[in-house]
Amino acid sequence: MTTTEREQYIVDENGTKTAVILSIEQYEQMLEDIHDLASVAERRVEQPISFAEMKKRLNLNGSL
């Protein structure tokens, strides 16, 4: 966020914040962050493998 960008809110008649206005850039970055976090959460149950094992697997499938 640049120094000229500030949070902007929509408020109801009581002054209670009900929504926020984001730039397209901020919105797209937020969507990307949410996607990344979802990917991490989905993979949490996977068992980690060593670097050597990863190289072995990549060699087996022809990726290296």
Does 37 map to a domain? Answer: yes
Q: Average pLDDT, stretch 30-38?
A: 97
The single residue listed with the structure tokens 């990307």 is 32
Secondary structure E strands in 1-64:
8-11, 17-21
Which H/E stretch holds residue 36?
A: helix 24-43
Within-domain flag for 2: no
pLDDT digits (tens, 9 = 90+) for 40-57: 999 999 999 999 999 999
What gap in Å lies between CA 51 and CA 63, rounded to an integer? 15
pLDDT score recorded for residue 7 = 84
> Rounded mean pLDDT of 1-9?
69
pTM tops 0.75, yes or no: no
User: How many domains is the chain partitioned into structurally?
Assistant: 1
Tell whether 33 is covered by a domain.
Answer: yes
Residue 27 inside a domain? The answer is yes
Q: Domain range for residue 39?
A: 8-60
In a domain, 15, yes or no: yes
3 pLDDT more than 70:
no
- How many C-beta atoms surround the C-beta of residue 44 within 10 A? 6
DSSP state of 31: H
